[in-house]
Amino acid sequence: MSEFQTKQTKTELSTSKKVIILVLVFLGGWLFGAGQMNFKANKSTTQKSLPSNLNYADVERVYDELRSNYDGDLDVNKLMDGLKEGLVAASGDPYTEYMSPDKAKDFSGQLNGTFEGIGAYLGKNDQGNVIVISPVDGFPAEKAGLQPRDVIVAIDGKDSTAYSVDQAVEKIRGPKGTNVKLRVIRNSKEDLSFDIKREQINIPSVESKVINNNIGYIKISRFGDDTSALARKAAEKFKADGVQKVILDLRGNPGGYLDSAVDVSSLWLKDKTVLTERRDGVTIKTYKTRGSAPLLGIPTIVLIDEGSASASEITAGALRDNDAATLIGVKSFGKGSVQQPQNLDNGGILKVTVARWYTPGGKNIDKQGIQPDKKVEISVDDIKAGRDPQLDAAVSQ
C-alpha cells in the first residue's frame, strides 16, 4: 500500500532485466508506476559506514546446517526469497521491501486497478502492524465496515501480526465468490471480526459529473496511468459547462503515479511548484506544473480522509499551499517518503526508500498527515444511513 518518480514513456512495467526507476506511492500495499531512468545516476548513498560487500560465511553455514539436518522438503527459490526478504526487512522501514517474482506479477494487476479480493489497500503503521489504508468505495471491504487504520491481527483464524504487507495481501486475496475472515483492532480498543466475500475488483481511476447544475465533481480513486488524461478531459468539460465551483474528492485514494499527481495539480496551477524531493535535507528535485490550467481561478474544495495517502497528499498539499483550494474532511494518512524500485534478474522487485517529499510550503507530512482547513467527520451512523456530511459541507462551502 507508495509516489512514482517517472519519465513518461510508452514502455510498460515488465519483469525484464531493464532497470525501472520509480518513486512509489501507496496502492494496495503495493506501490506501482512505469517509466525508465538511469539507475546508476542515483547510486549515491548515505550509508558510507557500511562495507561494500557482506560476509556471507555465516549465511552459508546456516544453509549448510539446514540442508544437512532439516526433516522436510526445502525449495531453493523460497530460501533465496526468504534471504532477500529478511535482508531488506532488517532496514526497519516498512516501505523498503523485496517482492518475490510471484508478488511482482501482481504489480500489473494493481497498475490497472483489476484484481480479485475484497477491495482494501493495505500498509503498515509505525509499530509495524499491517493496517487498512483505505477500503475501496462500493466493494466488499467497505460494505463490510472496514475502516482506515484498522489493524489486521488475524486472517482466517491465523495470527497475522508478524506478516509483511505482501503476506497479508497474498492471504486476503483469492478467487471471487470465496470468503476471507479478518479480525481487526480499531482505535487500539475495539476487537472486531469480519467475514467478507471476495469479488472481482475493477477500480475506476476517475469519475466526474456536474451536480446542482454548476458544481463540477471529480473523484480520483487512484493516480493510475489513465488518470492524467481522464482528469484533464473532465476539467475541460467543466470549463466548457461554465461550472462555478469544483469539488475534488481524494478520499480513500491511496496514491499512484507521481506524474499523475503533478498533472492533476497542473489543472489548477500555472508555473507553480507541486513538490520537492529532499535527501539528507538537500533538495534533489523540484516538480513544477506543466500544460494549461483549465481550472485556474475556479473555487475548489478538496475532500480528504485517513485513506488519502501519498500522491493524494501531494495533490492536496500543492493546491492548498498555492492557494488554489480549501481542504475539507479529516487528517490524511501521512506518507512523505519516496521509494525507488529496481527489477531484479529473477523477476522480483526491490524497492528502497531514497528520499522525502515536501509540499510547496516546505512541509514533510510523513507520519503527520495533512490537516484539513475545515474538519468534518463521517460517523458510522452516517455510513449506514448513506449520508455524506463531508460532501454536503463541500457543496455548501
- Active-site positions read 310, 321, 335
Residue 85 three-state SS: helix
Distance, CA of 33 to chain centre: 11
Class of residue 241 by CB neighbours under 10 A (exposed 0-12, middle 13-18, buried 19+)? exposed
107 DSSP assignment: H
In angstroms, rounded to a whole number, what is the distance separating the alpha carbons of residues 319 and 87? 39
Grid cell, residue 277, equals 524531493
Residue type present at position 353: T
Q: What is the DSSP string of 302-362?
A: EEE-TT--THHHHHHHHHHHTTS-EEEES------EEEEEEE-TTS-EEEEEEEEEE-TTS
| Three state DSSP letters for 125-175 | CCCCCEEEEEECCCCHHHHHCCCCCCEEEEECCEECCCCCHHHHHHHHCCC
User: Closest by alpha carbon to 225, among 35, 38, 39, 353?
Assistant: 35
Closest CA to 88 of 79, 99, 78, 77: 99
Q: Are 99 and 164 in contact (CB under 8 A)?
A: no
Instruction: With CA atoms as reference, report the closest residue to 35 among 46, 22, 45, 23.
Output: 22
- Cα–Cα distance measured from residue 159 to residue 127, given in angstroms and rounded to the nearest whole number: 16
**How far apart, in whole angstroms, are the C-alpha atoms of residue 316 and residue 330?**
12
DSSP string, 27-80: BTTB--------GGGG---S-TTS-SS---HHHHHHHHHHHHH-SS---HHHHH
